[in-house]
Amino acid sequence: MTARASKAGGKSKSAQRIRKGSQKKAASAKPTSNPLLKPWRTPFGIAPFDKIEARHFVPALQRAFAEHRAEVRTIASNPARPTFANTILALEKSGVLLDRIGHVFSNLEAADSTDALAEIARQMSPRFADHESAILLDRKLFKRIDDLYQRRETLKLDAEALRLVERTHLAFVRAGAALGAAEKKRVAAINQRLASLVTQFMQNVLKDEQSWHMVLDGEADLAGLPDGFRASAAREAQERGLAGRHVITLARSSVEGFLTFSARRDLREQAFNAWIRRGANGGATDNRGILLEIVALRQEYAALLGYETYSAFALADTMAKTPDAVDGLLGEVWKHAVGKAGEERDALAAAAKAEGSNAPIAAWDWRYYAEKVRKARFDLDEAALRPYLQLDNVIAAAFDCASRLFGLKFKPAADVPRYHADVRAWEVTNRRGEHVGLFLGDYFARSSKRSGAWMSSFRGQHKIGKGSRPIIINVMNFAKGAEGEPTLLSFDDARTLFHEFGHGLHGLLSDVTYPSLWGTSVSRDFVELPSQLYEHWLSRAEVLERFALHYKTGKPIPAKLLSRLKAARNFNQGFATVEFTASALADMQLYSKADVPGDLDRFEAEVLGQIGMPSEIVMRHRLPHFMHIVGGYASAYYSYMWSEVMDADAFAAFEEAGDIFDRKTADRLKRFIYSAGNMRDPEEAYIAFRGRAPEIDGLLRNRGFASAK
């Protein structure tokens, strides 16, 4: 997924917009001991993490707020007639200090949080909301923007500048700028409350993850676990002062690995229940009431703007446009997935019975018996793949594909300051040796990091003034290998790395003029196209034969194993599609009703009952810990599947060319997708690349379902 950013009424915070402008303002201010307010004379202008302490953020942010307010006030009160330069461009140039500091803080609070940072987040999130509301609801400022919008066809702007005028005007309208005074006041209050609630929701999930672990003591507890997984669990135990034992955590790579391999059904049940109960354990970290209030506030917000539901509001500015369009896609996929999952369940039950178990398949059994069926059916098991999927080699494979497709080179940047010892850095250059950006990788799970995987940025790209080159980060939660041993990944882990790196390329390759249009600043149901498309290269023999090397022998993955991997590509896709689609349908139902549910558990159960959710499968994200839909993916979790319709079709363009690294196809892909940011409508962008619109058939074939035709 992309960087987690709290949303208020569907718009991103000003502090989440990544810009780099001149640092002269900070340099010309009076001397300060606060490193956040000094010029950053560091390699590539990255934050001096070794000098930054939690105590520096509040005073720095307060100054940044004041500076930005003054800049906006000057723009809004300009007596001259509005022009693109004195209004739209001036806004693009404003808020440099706030963006710079805000992105350092938001990235640290997500990837390496402390109690102090968490408290600052609770304190400052409503301040960010207030600050943005004051700008987006400013009557004088909107009058200038609206004047330009009404005259936009007479301003003799190029296509990109015209797009910026239209997108800026739309952002202000969707923020409530055209409302009356009383409605604006209520919108501002909603935004402030939402900011606090979203922050609390995210922190509660992290606390629940931090507070649970399972200690495995002795061989009986370790039954079924492969050596590599045991080594990672032993390392986790040692870091917790439990040398000689093994620890399972709620990091996805830990808990899902345990559910896949552990022969102890009782322990699998314990781990699974802890995993799905995050945010729903009662007490201070329970998110059920928080989510219901978030939904109620967003519904009220949408109503103020004239929409029947929040889903209608959220989808109006997407490729899908309407809830009906989303429901049509999800419904078509669901009917295929449920039938496939039923066949899979029967196969698992047969495998369990063959082992002497007469217990019906439960949710904590699915991964365990699926692995056994896969091994029996395809002679392929996860433990056999892991030795060939070293983290360093998978990173190298992702880099190599980017080099062959787009001409990028990645050089280790050892002198770059980092916020944690595990973070790695590379300078990225193009075919001409020119600097493209800085790429950071933070790959290992730790208690200070939110679960999941995401791409984020410390700085974005633009061409205003001296311009700005991006600083991109991928954050993941892989279980680190034992001391002195490489980190070995599951194939799903490797796919996640390629996915997030696809987002990273979307940021690194950005080539736009204006900050608001850069990189991943696109529709939610388009932003997953570059990431999901990039996953396709991982599974190709051309890539695996070079980089899937045994960590002990150095020998490439055997052809037979590659053949089995290809044959098993669609294995268990019924399960995977059901758990995802159920979450997407629940998200849509939650935000598509004018009346907010009174009880979240009952609502979730009713939705799952209505769609016929198999009892053996649980939603990939249950509502009390569904961070996507309280953040930037509210009423938008479907977008992964919407983008999959495009990514399946887009990769076919390379296959049709007869070369998965075809230069002409890659150049079109770079020009219209990876480098284009939000310079054009996403549907137009896709058609410009592919020559036509995509169809759902590619998605269905990709998942091993029957064609829709």
Give per-residue burial for 312-329: e unless 16+ CB within 10 Å, then b: bbbbbebbbeebebbbeb
| Catalytic-role residue among 109, 209, 500, 535 | 500
Is position 500 annotated as part of the catalytic site?
yes
Integer distance in angstroms from the first to the last C-alpha of the chain? 31
Distance of CA 500 to the CA centre of its chain: 8
Q: How far apart are CA 130 and CA 190, in angstroms?
A: 10
Q: What are phi and psi of 458, to 5 degrees?
A: -100, -20
Q: Which run of H or of E encompasses 11?
A: strand 11-12
Q: Which of 532, 569, 551, 384 is nearest to 455 (CA)?
A: 532
Give per-residue burial for 507-523: e unless 16+ CB within 10 Å, then b: bbbbbbbbbbbbbbbbb
The DSSP annotation for 495-537 comes to HHHHHHHHHHHHHHT---SSGGGSTT-S-HHHHHHHHHHHHHH
Q: Where are the beta strands (DSSP E) in 333-431?
A: 409-412, 424-429
- What 8-state DSSP symbol labels residue 486? -
Helix axes 366-378 and 323-354, enclosed angle (nearest 10): 70
- What 8-state DSSP symbol labels residue 671? I
Q: How far apart are CA 64 and CA 527, in angstroms?
A: 29
Q: How far apart are CA 555 and CA 549, in angstroms?
A: 5
Which amino acid makes up residue 691? G
CB-based contact 39:23 (threshold 8 Å): yes
SS3 category, 52: coil
Spell out the residues 6+ positions from residue 566 whose beta carbon is closer than 8 angstroms to its own: 539, 541
* Token duo for residue 116: 């102090």
Q: Which of 402, 388, 187, 460 is nearest to 302 (CA)?
A: 187
* Token duo for residue 120: 């600052």
Q: Locate tokens 């987690």: which residue?
A: 4
- What 8-state DSSP symbol labels residue 452? S
Measured in residues, the chain has a length of 709
Q: Which run of H or of E encompasses 10?
A: none
Q: How far apart are CA 629 and CA 554, in angstroms?
A: 43
List residues bridging with 474 in a β-sheet.
441, 455
What are the residue numbers of the active site? 500
